[in-house]
Structure 1
């Protein structure tokens, strides 16, 4: 029987790399894609060291044609696509008006267009029982000061995930979103906002990787309730539950206090 396969963007470092190695240790065939070719080379070596098969390649997720070609090539080599993880992303922190608009646009390109491109490229190959995983964020619970544009991109990911879950569900395809708070990765280096100061950085890449693996192999209870959003970590779980039961004005007040320096 052909091993199950996973295609991961942003795989050279951080959450993507941890996810690739986590799936590899479970015997999956892993596709790792990134702009960092040196990082991909060492990733492939590590995947093969645990006895799994690696397929790696350079990919700019904002290029729809390149994304489609990468997924098509991966499936041609492996014979199937069981999971695609839209992980690639960038984060800009600071006052909205102090960040050059071109950088805002770049963040939107990667975090929004990249996810759209991944979903569109994956769909022809996704069969009943397969899963599209989108990396969302706790910043999609309520807009985050000093992370305004980033937060907005994650609201897009949230909405797209919910819509595609409804559209693709009848085809037997699961579409889910992972919701970590702040994760200790290179993307967060040098980032300091009122919210990071207040809540801290309590998650590592492995925490998210473990949750992704658990999500694509859900237990009977999770399937029964058809869970779409998966908060990662105790903090995000608390914030997610609180936002569902708190009035909008209270959620705003809480987030305003989190953001206060």
Structure 2
């Protein structure tokens, strides 16, 4: 039986993916801050889902993660889905720093611990094939004026995974990686008072996240429309990009 630990499993995509893997017969370790949601998951899937309340910004997050790994009987896949982000053109410092605390510091705390776990397991037992998957964003492909901290933090995640992939090969650790880059998804991350282009539903996105993990894809941009947009974005010279007025969203009208 396969075992997946999902960090950020209490709402949106993380919760749906946790439920789907449980239905597939996997052992799922669901982690997040919403204890009520964790209880609901454990009640709905008592044979497949175990839970632990974890805040990735807390210094005890890694300790709690390994408590959850113990409940699971081990870990084959880590999916890092925790994240925050704001449209913050005013550069409110609290929002900018909070984004970094979750999406950079919290991410590094959890992902580096998972890497060491898989590396040390391979060295001790010869078992290889541990996978670290992370939900980044299409926002990682360029710096975005209204989401400076968010786009930068997602770029950090991309680069960190690339560095760990190189480290895994250098250390012969056998750790594999999957980066999932969705466009806008209708989750609590989006401002409910605004309308975002090409917004996708959780029901539409979750199966593609699951397929990327199950098929062992290195990078999966969701969906094809956003893949095309990102391809065009990355062709634009920096001197042009910084002079473009990229509108992320607009006020919702009644």
Query: Which residue in 1 is equivalent to 2:160?
Result: 160
SS of match in other structure, 1:185: coil
1:110 to 102, 110, 117: 102
Give the drift of 1:253.
Answer: 7.2
1:120 to 97, 112, 115: 112
Correspondence 1:183-222 to 2 at 5 A? 183-190=185-192, 192=194, 196=196, 199-201=197-199, 203-218=200-215
Q: 1:40, 1:144 → 2: CA distance?
A: 34
Indicate if the aligned counterparts of 1:135 and 1:179 stay in contact, CA closer than 8 A: yes
Q: 2:185, 2:245 → 1: CA distance?
A: 21
- Between structures 1 and 2, the one with greater helix share: 1
SS of match in other structure, 1:115: helix
Q: How many corresponding residue pairs?
A: 240
Correspondence 1:142-181 to 2 at 5 A? 142-169=142-169, 170-181=172-183
Query: Which residue in 1 is equivalent to 2:229?
Result: 239
Correspondence 1:82-121 to 2 at 5 A? 82-97=76-91, 99=92, 101-121=93-113
Query: Aligned Cα RMSD in Å?
Result: 2.3
Give the drift of 1:206.
Answer: 3.2
Indicate if the aligned counterparts of 2:52 and 2:68 stay in contact, CA closer than 8 A: no
Q: 2:223, 2:113 → 1: CA distance?
A: 30
Give the drift of 1:45.
Answer: 1.9
Q: 1:13, 1:33 → 2: CA distance?
A: 11
Q: 1:235, 1:251 → 2: CA distance?
A: 22
SS of match in other structure, 1:94: coil
Q: Which runs of 5+ in 2 are unaligned?
A: 123-127
SS of match in other structure, 1:55: strand
- TM value normalised by structure 1: 0.83
Indicate if the aligned counterparts of 1:63 and 1:117 stay in contact, CA closer than 8 A: no
1:71 to 65, 69, 79: 65
Q: 2:19, 2:12 → 1: CA distance?
A: 11
Q: 2:205, 2:64 → 1: CA distance?
A: 24
Query: Which residue in 2 is equivalent to 1:252?
Result: 241
SS of match in other structure, 1:256: coil
Q: In the alignment, is residue 53 of structure 1 matched against residue 48 of structure 2?
A: yes
Q: Which runs of 5+ in 1 are unaligned?
A: none
Q: 2:162, 2:203 → 1: CA distance?
A: 25
- TM value normalised by structure 2: 0.85
Deviation track 1:115-168 (CA, whole Å, cap 9, x = no partner) reads: 101112212332521210111100011112211111111111111111112112
SS of match in other structure, 2:51: strand
